[in-house]
Amino acid sequence: MADRKKTVKVLELVLDWKLWPRHEASKLDSTNLAKLRQILQDGKAFNSPIVVDATSLRVIDGFHRTRALLDVLGDDAETEVVLREYKDEVTMRMEAARFANNGSLQLTPKDRVHFALGMRRDHVPWPLIADALDMDVERIRKLTDGRSITTQDGTRIAVSAGAATLAEHLKGKKADTAQEHWGRTGNGNLPLMHARMLLNALRAYGAMEYDAQTMEVLTDLVAAIKEVLAKVKV
């Protein structure tokens, strides 16, 4: 069936986070959201309509626009949407990834790995995953292997570039508590960069507040460094 356009109440639209292809579930980009709010506050309209599943009204493309409409225009807000028929949820998730990857906020490598892992948990074949991400199969599989770790409960999760070394170290083995914490919380910066920043701050005496909390962290840091030095022979 061909796409149809229809004006609906924004409150009727469903933000199903299982269709959200990014790794930060239930979290929208604040900068993008602010830009969209400003467009509406200036009395303008969005360039493209929100795309939704015709049966369930679940949003396929337009999470940020949906939120901005409600924030600025309130519960009575209405908008034109594209109603599209999908044969199943996998097809919806694939299209959501395509829209996200071709929009103003393209999927990051961590987003791509997160999407791939979620699809694989539902037994979606690699060729379909690669197609949704506009990548070849070998490339997305290599990225997923190099940017994911296995948690203590056996779940594979995507990690940032800063934790890629940990993923290589584990090579499929389960992470321990500290490793899993780093995998979940580490950002895109390499740990050595943070270490150098801290070292520079410590050398520049007075660059930090030496309160009880700081001294406790530094004490833990000294112990951790000693432990690593005892394990590693350079």
Rounded Cα–Cα distance for residues 111 and 23 (Å): 5
Average the pLDDT over 92-107 and give the result: 92
Rounded Cα–Cα distance for residues 225 and 220 (Å): 9
Average the pLDDT over 106-133 and give the result: 96
Q: Sorting pLDDT into bands at 50, 70 and 90, what band is 234?
A: low
- pLDDT tens sequence across 18-68: 999 999 887 899 999 999 999 999 999 999 999 999 999 999 999 999 999
Q: Which two tokens stand for residue 162?
A: 């800063």
Mean of per-residue pLDDT scores for the chain: 94
Average the pLDDT over 8-22 and give the result: 96
Q: Are 96 and 21 in contact (CB under 8 A)?
A: yes
Placement of tokens 């299209």 in the chain: 95
Most confident of 20-24, 92-96, 182-186: 92-96
**1-89, CATH topology level:** 3.90.1530
Q: Sorting pLDDT into bands at 50, 70 and 90, what band is 6?
A: very high
Q: Are β-strands 50-53 and 148-150 bridged in parallel, bridged antiparallel, or unpaired?
A: unpaired
Helix (H) or strand (E) holding 103: none
**Dihedral of CA 167/171/172/177: which sign?**
negative
What is the structure's pLDDT at 154? 95
Rounded Cα–Cα distance for residues 90 and 127 (Å): 13
Could you tell me which residues come within 8 angstroms of residue 162 by beta carbon, excluding any fewer than 6 positions away?
186, 187, 188, 189, 190, 191
Cβ-based burial of 8 (10 A; exposed 0-12, middle 13-18, buried ≥19): middle
Could you tell me which residues come within 8 angstroms of residue 67 by beta carbon, excluding any fewer than 6 positions away?
15, 28, 33
Rounded Cα–Cα distance for residues 212 and 174 (Å): 35
Cβ-based burial of 44 (10 A; exposed 0-12, middle 13-18, buried ≥19): exposed
Placement of tokens 């700081």 in the chain: 214
3-state secondary structure of 157: strand
Q: Sorting pLDDT into bands at 50, 70 and 90, what band is 189?
A: confident
Residue 1 has pLDDT above 80, yes or no: no
What is the structure's pLDDT at 191? 87
Which residues on neighbouring strands pair with residue 59, listed in sequence order?
A: 52
Q: How far is CA 97 from the centre of its chain?
A: 12
What is the structure's pLDDT at 2? 82
